[in-house]
Structure 1
């Protein structure tokens, strides 16, 4: 049988060097960082600079990953942009003899001492993945003096048996080992420990929070005591049935379908005041019939797990990176500057994208533009002297997609923080209620997405669906808050008293909704109506007058 003809390469390199000598060649690095990598990374899902104009790429650092028989290189590449900022990325390199070994996913064709090879992302090669696992389980330091492999407490295996990729990801590359562990290669790198690494390690070793993947190992590139890069994080693999977004969305859709098939009088359903707390047994009977008792029991469980996470993150008394802090003038200045900058960005973005909106979304957008001074006033109306609660390290990007479901229990993952924030901002201690607000916005999204994505199934007006949405949302929030507040307060996490809790929740809800607006306008303008409706509800003076000032 004839061998498969290799694809014609876009780039071909040639050097009178061995693979062992290649990375020391200034000329090779120059050619690699030219058109070769510029063309390659633009095609990668993990590359986050597509919206900016790339000026040039440079190799910031490299290290070898090797054993007695195989050699690979780990590259830290620096992408420099015309807009005067840089981003660092991790790219492991390997050689193969036949491009079909990686399904044609190649970086370049290369000749070394007249012998032909194909340069590829080494993560595609099982031999590389096996070597990485073995080095982590051994916990050894390599010949590269700054590279550290660390074995974590939850790593119980010594032998490699298998590896596979975990689906398709946007910003990282995750590998499943032995069907027990997940190793996440961080493609975007920062000169600081990744928050996902820090929080995973803390919750495993000190926090005693069981409903998150345990820390099993990591790879760190260390330039000095204060200058490090987290290359990879390995954690326990949590058996799961998918994420909480799909789980709750399916149940919400079933409830909406039941509503459409019924003759429910929404006026008879109990209307709660904003952020009113209710016990799961106090949920309106009609909503329980539509969505099921188990639906609200699940909200209660999710609230309980969220509270456990925050209590764990707030229990540290020695490590200053995790000890709770009070509110301070410095924090207030940082917060206001950050939020006013974000608001100005969103307003400008909204003005430039009005032509993409119509109907209710356009009306809400114009109302926001008319009320931008009021939004700015809300962000500036933050007085640290009147807040008595504490700030802690938080998840930072908490929503239903960051929670796995298994047998009606919930496991919290991905502690990297908001992608738009700097690595330092992600580590700032925040009110734990910021995570709670993020989850409430996710509830709101799940409800309205179920309405907008299935309008062809509706036999009632959109206004009736909106009314149902608000009734359901308030009772989901009420159940969550009742459970959450009861647990954290009984476990000595200081989140303040009722008025402070309500102020912080409204403040953080507005922040999250404004943040979401930017994402939707950039990626899916049709969904911009969801954060716009959220912003409108939060700004409604009749509903929120008593609880949005402190």
Structure 2
């Protein structure tokens, strides 16, 4: 980005926080232009009506200067405003070394503060700012502000002696900003802010400091704005005491995530399919078993007895059931409508699956009604919430679980709702199903093979891997365990979450990848088959609810 904008003010940089006219000028001139070039700003496609400086926090720098953490509010023609974190630094000497490491995309504009001219930059590109963050976290500093305080908390993952480390900004553009320290720690600065602490910080801090769970990047610390109790400006962010601004974790050396690793294993499997050879290497099962155990150990760590209400186990209450049922029923209604509208765009195999799914609507409705009243003694806990192969890093001989922010499309409040840990298990099972289906149905090696044959081969691989993962997972807990009353409840709850996950996936595939629609549809049919088994075993076969129409899945053969 080439700087073309400039601004002049009589206010000095060191006293800028107390000049509201200056911030009003910045939010009307330089900042909107800059923010709209940033990957992390999610409002670019919306009709913007203006920006305002809701809060300006001051952070002292090592050399005696200051940086500011601006809470920037973006307003729109429709919908509620959004709040973003924009740290700002002023580099007065444009010819010195300080600007060397500031890329064009970090330079906001030329500004004269008082009698000093220089460049206003995104502070993440200023080494002084990065060091100030590390120092504050290391020493558990509390920095008072005009609106509350900035609280820096040090976690057990930040080691003694690591208070001064060489830092850099990672070049990857994403919805947050990432900095590394000594290639040993990773600091994520959250850009879009919410009214409460980020669930990722809560989870990682609990797992590191309370449960001592080793298979995550250890919690190094956090940056939190504890707002004042008063709410003079009406800012949405001031309605809650704590707003998470950043989190530090240990860096983890890894080769790839588990999605890529599974893809490598599937390449070996794929090569044998055209020759009608079915082979899975033994080390594939070993890796799947290990991931199953690590997942079980994660949930045991989250089940750890605690006085913290945010992590204490809870039963399946009526309120929780109603929450889940309403979300599921709304989701089903939208997916049925989407499927009907796009039915003619699907290939023949997907159409057969879609027809069976739609014919099974009454059976699914009955299953949901059963969930509303069925006695359940299993417990709910905080879970990962967005668990799949891409959230697991493969190290040389183990796995490290990452990204505890929860479901991206859910509110922060909903991401903190406690579920059965089988919801995470369902996410991983669906991920394995996607891995094998995507590989077999989208590879040149299988283009000429009969789709029904490919489906059978895909199913065999998936069922073996699913059962291997699930058996290893449940072995961690033993029986009985408070999280799972018995196998009957395990099977029932797993079907609830598997069905919800597959129905959710269906919407994305219809809208963006119609050729992949058969993957979630097959997952749905597999679940409905199991629902039918429960109906038969319970003796609850209502005369008005038809059985699964599996005959529709058969193709006409010559």
- Per the normalisation by structure 2, the TM-score is 0.84
Cα offset, 1:234, TM superposition: 0.8
Alignment-derived partner of residue 235 in structure 1: 249
Residue 86 of structure 1 aligns with which residue? 81
Please identify, of 306-315 and 47-56, the stretch whose mean Cα deviation from structure 2 is larger. 47-56
Alpha-carbon deviation of 1:524?
5.0
Q: Tell me the residue number matched to 1:21.
A: 15
Stretches of structure 1 that go unaligned for 5 or more consecutive residues are: 1-5, 265-285
Change (3 A) 1:357 1:259: closer
Asked if the contact 1:151/1:218 (under 8 Å) is kept, the reply is: yes
Higher deviation after alignment, 306-315 or 164-173: 164-173
Is 1:455 aligned to 2:444, yes or no? yes
* 1:188 corresponding residue in structure 2: 192
Question: Which blocks of at least 5 consecutive residues in structure 2 are unaligned?
Answer: 230-239, 539-558
Deviations 1:305-340 (A, max 9, x none): 000011111122422221111111111122222233
CA contact (8 A) 1:503 1:548 kept: no
The correspondence for 2:270, drawn from 256, 270, 283, is: 256
Q: Alignment length, in residue pairs?
A: 517
Question: 2:143 maps to which residue?
Answer: 142
Q: Which residue of 2 aligns with 1:76?
A: 71
Most deviating of 198-207 and 459-468: 459-468
Residue 443 (structure 1) shift: 0.6
In structure 2, the partner of 1:515 is: 504
Q: For residue 102 of structure 2, what is the aligned residue in structure 1?
A: 102
Post-superposition offset of 1:516: 2.5
Shift of 1:296: 0.8
Which residue number corresponds to residue 233 of structure 2?
A: none
1:294 aligned to which of 283, 289, 297: 283
Q: 1:502·1:548 contact (CA, 8 Å) conserved in 2?
A: no
Deviations 1:274-323 (CA, angstroms, capped at 9, x unpaired): xxxxxxxxxxxx4xxx2200001111000000000111111224222211
- Looking at structure 2, the residues matched to 118 and 158 of structure 1 have their Cα atoms a distance apart, in angstroms, of 31
Contact kept in structure 1, 2:420 and 2:483, CA below 8 Å: no
Structure 1: how far apart are the matches of 2:39 and 2:346? 28
CA distance in 2, matches of 1:173, 1:352: 40
Q: CA deviation at 1:238?
A: 1.8
CA distance in 2 between counterparts of 1:405 and 1:442 reads 16
Q: Which residue of 2 aligns with 1:480?
A: 469
Most deviating of 430-439 and 368-377: 368-377
Structure 1 residue 131: Cα displacement: 1.8
Cα distance, 1:133 vs structure 2: 1.1
Q: Alignment partner of 1:382: what SS?
A: helix
CA contact (8 A) 1:134 1:158 kept: no
Q: For the residues of structure 2 that align with 1:63 and 1:31, how far apart are their CA atoms?
A: 18
**Distance in 1 between the 2:524 and 2:402 partners?**
27
Structure 1 241/166 Cα, relative in aligned 2: closer, same or farther at 3 Å? farther
Residue of structure 2 aligned with 1:203, choices 207, 214, 239:
207
Task: Output the CA distance in 2 between the equivalents of 1:66 and 1:524.
Answer: 50
CA distance in 2, matches of 1:36, 1:518: 40
Matched, 1:63 2:34: no
Distance 1:300 1:469 in 2: 19
Partner of 1:245: 259
* Distance in 2 between residues matched to 1:212 and 1:548, nearest whole Å: 40
Q: How many angstroms apart in 2 are the aligned matches of 1:365 and 1:312?
A: 40
Which residue of structure 2 lines up, in the alignment, with residue 120 of structure 1? Answer: 121
TM-score, structure 1 as length reference: 0.85
Runs ≥4 residues deviating over 6 A: 351-356
Partner of 1:111: 112
The answer for the alignment partner of 2:234 in structure 1 is none
Tell me how far apart the structure 1 counterparts of residues 341 and 53 of structure 2 sit (CA, whole Å). 37
Quote how far apart the aligned CAs of 1:466 are.
2.1
Distance 1:100 1:491 in 2: 61
Q: 1:192: how far off?
A: 1.2
Q: Secondary structure at the match of 2:383?
A: coil
3-state secondary structure, aligned to 1:76: strand
How far did 1:479 drift?
Answer: 0.7
Match of 1:94, SS state, is strand
Taking the aligned partners of 1:37 and 1:371, their CA distance within structure 2 comes to: 54
Q: CA RMSD in A?
A: 2.9
CA distance in 1, matches of 2:470, 2:299: 14
- Give deviations 1:215-238, integer Å, cap 9, x for gaps: 111111011585211111111212
1:363: how far off? 6.0
1:414 paired residue number: 403
